[in-house]
Amino acid sequence: MLPNPFCPLRGAAVLSLKATVLLLLTLLIKARIQIRFFSGLGVLLLLLQTLAFLAAGGLLSAAGVGVMAMGRRR
Looking from the CA of 3 toward its CB, the CA atoms found within 13 Å total 5
pTM of the predicted protein model: 0.56
Checking if the pLDDT of 73 tops 70, the result is no
DSSP tag of 5: T
Report which residue type is found at 41.
Answer: L
What residues contact 36, with CB distance under 8 A and at least 6 apart?
none
Please count the helices (runs of H) and the strands (runs of E) in the chain.
1, 0
pLDDT classification of 7: cutoffs 50, 70, 90: confident
More confident residue, 21 or 73: 21
Report which residue type is found at 56.
Answer: A
From the centroid of its chain, how far is CA 3? Answer: 54
- How do residues 22-71 score in pLDDT, each as one tens digit? 999 999 999 999 999 999 999 999 999 999 999 998 888 887 766 565 66
Residue 42's pLDDT is what? 94
